[in-house]
């Protein structure tokens, strides 16, 4: 089989989605499945939908187009602020977009009017992650401007946590987000339908015992795909952590010393020779490297350890046993490694457990998105 490759177990992704949808649903929170780490892979998106997510979200319009072209009709949001060069495509392909800039929102409104459509806007609020977001003090003014903009409709507010800062949100943060929703409606009326509290890092709070307030949505990628908490890296109880597996072929295996040094044997002539230690260990080289994935995020079989990597080699300490050339090594991946591997053209993607989406297929000819492919 082709190597390197990522093997994808759709059944485990669907199971993770279903588990989270059920547990969060009991708390009044809907789930948006985030597909950006898998480049909008349609089969993974279908698994999320079959698992019960209320909607999908991605950060790149080409990924959204890919999903639409494969017949995925559920609501899809653009969770990165739309590029001004992509306004018409975003309005055409996405039901909703997350925004912080009025210039962008005005362009979205103009594109929506041109298409005889209306586009939903969610305003991102800066809550301490220090990535994108409107300062809370400016939120009401921005919301008022959105409501007055033809072609768009204010649907809600949202916040990011643990993306830049790696700091998980607190109950106090979530309570503040609820208060901000109330304040917006105090000025603008009952327009805040969705209060999206963040992503997978919010799960400990969302599944706890404190009140969820007005927060009624989470945008989940890592938890569904990998079953892990992005802040701690720990597995989430009840979820599969092996839905994605990376395989790479062994291209060299040998017993080498842990240290090589040089020694002069003819000082006058400047002649050197290599001197090795007596500590011989099996070192294996895999045909995969930084060009294919984030090698620092790979998880190796028990008893093996990462030594280093270059653009297309990864060196692994396999202890006392050499791994045969031509065999394959199976590795787990963290979120960064998964994201890089899924976007790498030279890494094959092999899907298991594929099934037809219930009643959601749509003929390709009906999609006006062909110019993006």
Torsion over CA: 328, 333, 336, 342 (sign): positive
Q: What is the dihedral of CA 178, 184, 189, 190, to 10 degrees?
A: -30
User: Are 315 and 307 spatial neighbours (Cβ–Cβ below 8 Å)?
Assistant: yes
DSSP characters for 173-201?
HHHHHHHHHHHHHHHH-S---EEE--SGG
Domain boundaries 9-242+367-372, CATH class: alpha beta
- Could you tell me how many residues make up the chain? 373
Delimiting residues of CATH 3.20.20.10 domain(s) in the chain? 9-242+367-372
- State the pLDDT at residue 200: 96
Let me know: does 159 contact 123? Beta carbons within 8 Å. Answer: no
Looking at residue 282, what is its pLDDT? Answer: 87
Both tokens of 26, joined, read 């009991």
C-alpha distances (whole Å) from 322 to each of 281, 304, 318, 326, 327 are: 9, 11, 6, 12, 11
What residues pair up with 280 in beta bridges, in sequence order? 257
Residue 135 confidence (pLDDT):
97
pTM comes to 0.91
Rounded mean pLDDT for each run of 10 residues along the chain, 373 residues in total: 96 98 98 98 98 98 98 97 97 98 98 97 95 97 98 97 87 97 97 97 95 98 97 96 98 79 60 59 94 97 94 91 91 98 98 69 39 35
Residues 132/88, Cβ–Cβ less than 8 Å: no
Is residue 76 within 8 Å of 89, Cβ to Cβ? Answer: no
Write out the two tokens for 200: 């997978």
**Contact by Cβ (8 Å): 58, 76:** yes
If phi > 0 it is left, if psi is from -120 to 50 it is alpha, else beta; for residue 181 that is alpha
Torsion 344-1-298-7 (CA) sign: positive
| pLDDT confidence of residue 181 | 98
Residues 67-98: b if buried by 16+ CB within 10 A, e if exposed: bbbbbbebebbbbbbbeeebbebbbbbbbbbb
């Amino acid at each position: 089989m082709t190597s390197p490759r990522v093997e994808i177990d759709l059944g485990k992704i669907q199971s993770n989605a279903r588990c989270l949808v059920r547990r969060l649903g009991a708390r009044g929170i809907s789930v948006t499945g985030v597909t950006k780490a898998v480049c909008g892979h349609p089969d993974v998106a279908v698994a999320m939908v079959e698992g019960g997510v209320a909607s999908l979200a991605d950060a790149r319009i080409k990924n959204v187009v890919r999903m639409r072209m494969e017949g995925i009709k559920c609501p899809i949001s653009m969770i990165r602020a739309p590029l001004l060069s992509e306004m018409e495509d975003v309005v055409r392909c996405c039901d909703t977009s997350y925004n912080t800039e009025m210039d962008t929102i005005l362009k979205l409104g103009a594109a929506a009017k041109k298409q005889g459509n209306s586009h939903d806007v969610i305003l991102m609020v800066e809550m301490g992650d220090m990535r994108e977001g409107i300062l809370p003090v400016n939120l009401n003014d921005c919301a008022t401007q959105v409501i007055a903009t033809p072609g768009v409709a204010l649907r809600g507010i949202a916040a990011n946590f643990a993306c830049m800062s790696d700091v998980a949100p607190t109950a106090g943060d979530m309570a503040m987000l609820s208060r901000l929703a109330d304040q917006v409606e105090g000025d603008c009326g009952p327009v805040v339908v969705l209060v999206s509290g963040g992503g997978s890092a919010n799960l400990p709070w969302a599944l706890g015992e404190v009140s969820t307030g007005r927060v009624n949505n989470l945008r989940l990628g890592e938890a569904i795909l990998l079953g892990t908490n992005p802040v701690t890296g720990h597995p989430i109880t009840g979820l599969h952590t092996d839905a994605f597996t990376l395989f790479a072929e062994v291209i060299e295996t040998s017993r080498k010393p842990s240290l090589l040094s040089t020694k002069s044997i003819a000082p006058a002539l400047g002649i050197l020779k290599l001197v090795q230690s007596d500590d011989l260990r099996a070192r294996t080289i895999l045909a995969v490297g930084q060009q294919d994935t984030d090698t620092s995020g790979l998880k190796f079989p028990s008893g093996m350890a990462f030594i280093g990597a270059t653009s297309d080699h990864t060196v692994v300490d396999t202890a006392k046993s050499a791994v045969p050339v031509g065999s394959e090594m199976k590795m787990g991946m963290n979120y960064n490694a998964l994201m890089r591997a899924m976007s790498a053209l030279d890494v094959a993607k092999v899907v298991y457990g594929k099934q037809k989406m219930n009643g959601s297929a749509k003929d390709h000819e009906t999609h006006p998105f062909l110019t993006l492919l």
